[in-house]
Structure 1
Amino acid sequence: MSGYDYGVELWRVSGPMGEWKLKLGSGPGAARVAREAAVWSRLGPAGLDRSRFQHGDGGGCTWLVTPWHCGPTLWELCTPVRQCAVKARHEVLTGAVDTCITVAAVHLRGWVHGDLQPHHIIFGPSRARLIDWSRAWSADSDLPPAGRGLVHLASPETLADADKPVTAADESWTLAAMLWWAANGRWPRDYRALGIDPAMFTTAELARVLERRPAPLGRLAWPELEQVLRTVLTAPAASRPTAAELALHLAGIPA
């Protein structure tokens, strides 16, 4: 077994046709796994290959089998940069651009991932892959919205209305915030400037605090990257750069 999270067990399974990820949801985790299976069954964003998954339920549990993707996560890829290793910047920039292109492809198909974070991006031999689709949503599907992901990476609009479905513009903010977090290990919002410890609040409480008192952005030790990400994080939703535009801006940063 590889892990356990909120009623969901994660197993890495090997067989004659390769390696697979088995998710087993019980209790509150059953609905989470069932929703991700529903996303896969609709072929969904980023060309998920519906021929390569199986799912079912029984005995109060829900299970989902999908391909196991090998490779470092975005968080792992950025580890040297968080340790101030300048020589790793080129590889991190390449990974960041690939991540933005992958997210842009999701948005182009009318979907949002709904839970972008550095641990949900895996770099394989050819491209960045998104995993954990339990919050994915499309206005063109019959699936209801599944709420926001990490409150620390939520756009200002999402903080203001937790019931509002996450949009591509919201997710562009989250994409930039996620890259910021991966690059320095700190949330983009400077909680210290507000004089608060985010760990002392529930998710709902923290969202209300940030709505009333917007936190300033922190700083990155990589000024060129900070400038590009800050442009996204400070732009109004109507003029916020898209994931594809962010990819272009990141590609222009000298390593």
Structure 2
Amino acid sequence: MEQALKPISTRLVVNRRGSTVWDVQAEAERYAVKVGRPVPATDEHPGHPWTSLAPAREALILQRLQTFAVYGTWVYGTWNAQPWHAGTDLYELWGPHRSGEINIPFDLAPALACATKLAALHDRNWIHGDIQPAHFIIGSDGGATVIDLALAQGGSLPGELDLPYPGCLVHYESPEISRSVLEKGTATPTTASDVYGFGASLFMSATGWRHVEYPDDAPRSVQRKAVAAVPHRPVTVPGMFGKLIEAMLSPAPGDRPTSAEVCSVLAHAMGSAAR
């Protein structure tokens, strides 16, 4: 990896359960470098051998989407390198709203930029499968990039990387995904489950609350039981934006708007606010 990129500087960004991410500055380009390894089983969590293959899987998906990525192997798994995307996310942008520092309507332009990227992914028949606020990067120009596609579904991949979908971060998981993972150990993500995850991301970014209440230190199975069975928290966000989040968090997948409809509602809400 070092021979391929010839880094000038490196900065550790993430080091957690099966994944390490580095910000790598090379002579001409800046890269996000991800290194995967298996997660051993503990009393609280099952092991995750698939995390060792996640970087290679993501790189192949990015290549399918005509985005630059390279990958390779190391003794414990795989790694990839892809373009670094500088920016922030909705949770950070809307921090002043949650703290009460400002009392003005939400700037929905960043949300629309994220929704547009999700709709474009769906238009190409890909499902992200791991929607959360940190997986949309909003640049200084106001545009957004969707990242962390290791769990995406939609195109053919080599057999060793065609992994069963394990579910995603439960804070943003839809009821049907949680229910299936509890019952079968895997699930089939859909555009509707992506929309639910985006709605839960908007709700968390706007309010600071998870979509469903459960103890912070609860095991993942307990979290999923809550998501599968407990109604989501009341949506207290006012106006058309709040009604959109409510619809996105519908327990029935068929009642949720499509990602394209989410874009339309956000654009309309922005136009109404400007008048």
Tell me which interval the TM-score lies in, with the shorter structure as reference length.
0.7 to 0.9
CA contact (8 A) 1:36 1:135 kept: no
Distance 2:266 2:196 in 1: 15
Name which structure has the greater RCO, CA cutoff 8 Å, separation 6+.
1
Distance 1:111 1:145 in 2: 16
Q: Which residue of 183, 188, 198 corresponds with 2:215?
A: 198
Q: Which residue of 203, 228, 245 corresponds with 1:229?
A: 245
CA contact (8 A) 2:174 2:196 kept: yes
TM-score, reference length from structure 2:
0.79
Partner in structure 1 of residue 37 of structure 2: 26
Superposition map of 1:93-104 within 5 A: 93-104=108-119
Structure 1 residue 88: Cα displacement: 6.5
RMSD: 2.4
Superposition map of 1:9-48 within 5 A: 9-28=20-39, 31-32=50-51, 34-43=53-62, 47-48=65-66
Distance 1:222 1:169 in 2: 23
TM-score, reference length from structure 1:
0.85
Deviations 1:133-177 (A, max 9, x none): 121111655523422112232212112211221111111111111
Unaligned runs of 5+ in 1: 192-196
Partner in structure 1 of residue 180 of structure 2: 161
How many residue pairs get matched?
243
Deviations 1:111-152 (A, max 9, x none): 111111111110123621111112111165552342211223
Partner in structure 1 of residue 225 of structure 2: 208
Distance 1:145 1:127 in 2: 32
- Secondary structure at the aligned position of 1:171 is classed as helix
Partner in structure 2 of residue 144 of structure 1: 163
Superposition map of 1:23-172 within 5 A: 23-28=34-39, 31-32=50-51, 34-43=53-62, 47-49=65-67, 52-84=68-100, 85-87=102-104, 89-90=106-107, 93-124=108-139, 125=141, 127-138=143-154, 140-141=156-157, 143-162=162-181, 163-172=186-195
Deviations 1:80-120 (A, max 9, x none): 22234244722xx0011111111111111111111111111
Identical aligned residues as a percent:
25
Unaligned runs of 5+ in 2: 1-11, 40-47
Which structure has greater helix proportion? 1
